[in-house]
Structure 1
């Protein structure tokens, strides 16, 4: 049994639809665009995430009996609109940046083409998915860059809403994390899962040694023991005495981590456990991870910071009408003109210009009509950024599920190599590359 996603929306989308059906503009061909005017938090780049989830949700965007009854009983729309919604299926096309792709201010991350009625009702669904997932992915990518070759585990489920936690685990995996503690994310998206024991496990037992022995008997000596429930030095000594020098790892979840990690590494080596790994957790973010770069740490576990976008839980994306046909059937570009929220109207093609393999500019080609838009052959120095997700209502399933998630992760790792060195810094700054608008030839 499927669950409709049609009411994961704002009321004004349906009231606009009702008015458009009444005045005859509902069938007017239109182009909507999802983009961000700026990068949240002075970040130097953004990471697109959520597209695969959005496509799956779009498939279930249907107004069934329950949804129609709610709209009728609440007097939200009139009878004509209810009749339209009963048969609603998205029949337009959607193009955009692949998941895992980098984006910058003005990047046409998603372009939705169809009638006004087709596209207007998708605004909230598209924004709620991509704003959340892209915010998480952007933070996760910064953490991945800071971590270097050291593995990262996402473990923030307890700091997010239950479904948001699953989505966040997916976004973090796309952007460079190697595993998650969330089992639903593992089942749904094929993400490797990890996890051993919390402090409650140690506190359950009469002694720390009893807890360690029981865990090793259950999970084997390759497990990771949490050694900071009581005294860290005693915890490490007990861990090696119980597990032997082949213990897989110890985890530190408190204290001044650079100092504690160094002390624990020395102690482990003195005890002969030179191969025992050190994993650190405890409210890490990209800055704390960077500060641990010179410490003898082998892996990181990140919770609250990654699932909340490291202080910026939304990517500040918007969904705007950028082109439409007028009453005579001619295409025109349209855009909001207010000083602080001005945007660029027109249908767009996007290219990332590269110099010796390094990104130098985000080039956005703008056209009012469809026939004048530039093709990749006209920008040989640029990498085309847009692909087709939906064509005439048919959804490309290759971007969904386990395979789509793995593909997005691989794509992100490839395109991240294009970033200029200045993009890797964590301090607030202007975007790493400029966005340049040019008129279609």
Structure 2
């Protein structure tokens, strides 16, 4: 059996197709052909927005680094909010230039921003639900492997403490986290042999985290793991499937009690398996850390659109959209405001759209830690999901 003509072994759009703009919707290429035939190429202002007016539901801007590199080198000016900024209505990014120069890039531009922003928003929900706990991203297995780094970068941007995907870690320059799956225990056939073998084989800098719910009661396995590894044990992980979980909070309380009763007060309890913000809020006082997977990776993308709002200096927009170039502001009370760029903003308003590209040249750097700090500060300022 052979692959279809022109296809490689994996269904992955090559980077060259993204860069040359062929990773696009067909009607943009038809638009180019039509504009060329009509010898028309107006100067436009186009804005990326999710909601026209503030709704009270803040989301996190992510994916901007990829978006900037997509448009880099084109003869356009771009303003955008910084990565990690929380927004609520109005533009998050503005492109100015001849429409023909960037039309075909709309599909990829929106894809970069929409998917990452959705995942970052959900990751921030998890972060604020358990602000004092270690929270790791375990969701890469739920997405196409070609975008695993997007998942993990979005999680880090929102303030999560780490992630599990090795290749994503190599791309991002961050180490991946993780110890043992149920498969390792099953390969040995019994728990003590698996825990001991892992302790013997794993590098010294890898925490000794024993998975304690493969074959028997969680309390039973936790006690056995503590007795087997002794002072080498750093943490126990409970990942019981939803179909067998019962009262997860009670299980974790019981596990904590039994560890403390045997002198293992320093051993942490880590919980994973289908957890979201509601579960983290319920369990954050009885667990030291969490793995969050599908809540981040399966997040609904932010429904961004790119719309022309001015043509050759005159306001213009389709129905349902607001014409004219805009600016968004954050006020000291955490409010989000949108107004025409030519008008003054609120007296105490901080303009959120800043230069990103000037005539195609990138004029901003991207620091992931700074974006994460910005997201957490903004979350506190606007009472995100409180």
User: Deviation string for 1:172-215 (max 9, x for gaps)?
Assistant: 11011110101222122233420011000000003211101001
Cα distance, 1:386 vs structure 2: 1.1
Cα distance, 1:364 vs structure 2: 1.8
- Given that 2:22 and 2:104 are in contact with CA atoms closer than 8 Å, whether structure 1 keeps it comes out as no
Which runs of no fewer than 5 residues in structure 1 stay unpaired? 60-88, 326-330, 368-372, 426-441
- Given that 2:208 and 2:232 are in contact with CA atoms closer than 8 Å, whether structure 1 keeps it comes out as no
Once residues 58 and 196 of structure 2 are traced to their aligned partners in structure 1, the CA distance between those partners, rounded to angstroms, is 47
Match of 2:305 among 318, 325, 330: 318
- Given that 1:25 and 1:116 are in contact with CA atoms closer than 8 Å, whether structure 2 keeps it comes out as no
- Given that 2:52 and 2:321 are in contact with CA atoms closer than 8 Å, whether structure 1 keeps it comes out as no
Corresponding residue SS for 1:3: helix
- Given that 1:113 and 1:119 are in contact with CA atoms closer than 8 Å, whether structure 2 keeps it comes out as no
User: Deviation string for 1:312-360 (max 9, x for gaps)?
Assistant: x2111111111111xxxxx2111221xxxx1211011221122xxx313
Q: 1:412 to 1:190 in 2, by over 3 A?
A: farther
Once residues 174 and 92 of structure 2 are traced to their aligned partners in structure 1, the CA distance between those partners, rounded to angstroms, is 25
Once residues 200 and 364 of structure 1 are traced to their aligned partners in structure 2, the CA distance between those partners, rounded to angstroms, is 52
Q: Which residue of 2 aligns with 1:101?
A: 85
Q: 1:248 to 1:90 in 2, by over 3 A?
A: same
Q: Does 1:49 align with 2:62?
A: yes
How many aligned residue pairs are there? 363
Which deviates further from its counterpart, 389-398 or 266-275?
Answer: 389-398
Aligned ranges 1:98-177 → 2 under 5 Å: 98-105=82-89, 107-177=90-160
- Given that 1:147 and 1:293 are in contact with CA atoms closer than 8 Å, whether structure 2 keeps it comes out as yes
Q: Which residue of 2 aligns with 1:247?
A: 233
Q: Does 1:406 align with 2:369?
A: yes
Cα distance, 1:19 vs structure 2: 0.8
Cα distance, 1:249 vs structure 2: 0.2
Q: 1:128 to 1:18 in 2, by over 3 A?
A: same
- Given that 1:32 and 1:119 are in contact with CA atoms closer than 8 Å, whether structure 2 keeps it comes out as no
- Given that 2:70 and 2:109 are in contact with CA atoms closer than 8 Å, whether structure 1 keeps it comes out as no
Cα distance, 1:25 vs structure 2: 2.0
Corresponding residue SS for 1:54: helix
Match of 1:272 among 246, 259, 263: 263
Q: 1:38 to 1:211 in 2, by over 3 A?
A: farther
Q: Which residue of 2 aligns with 1:195?
A: 178
Which runs of no fewer than 5 residues in structure 2 stay unpaired? 1-13
- Given that 1:131 and 1:314 are in contact with CA atoms closer than 8 Å, whether structure 2 keeps it comes out as yes
User: Deviation string for 1:27-61 (max 9, x for gaps)?
Assistant: x110110000279xx982100000012223345xx
- Given that 1:280 and 1:299 are in contact with CA atoms closer than 8 Å, whether structure 2 keeps it comes out as yes
Cα distance, 1:22 vs structure 2: 1.5
Q: Does 1:359 align with 2:334?
A: yes
Which deviates further from its counterpart, 92-101 or 43-52?
Answer: 43-52
Q: Does 1:388 align with 2:365?
A: no
Aligned ranges 1:279-318 → 2 under 5 Å: 279-294=270-285, 296-309=286-299, 313-318=300-305
Once residues 127 and 175 of structure 2 are traced to their aligned partners in structure 1, the CA distance between those partners, rounded to angstroms, is 16
Once residues 137 and 349 of structure 1 are traced to their aligned partners in structure 2, the CA distance between those partners, rounded to angstroms, is 23
Cα distance, 1:405 vs structure 2: 2.1
Cα distance, 1:148 vs structure 2: 1.5
Once residues 189 and 114 of structure 2 are traced to their aligned partners in structure 1, the CA distance between those partners, rounded to angstroms, is 47
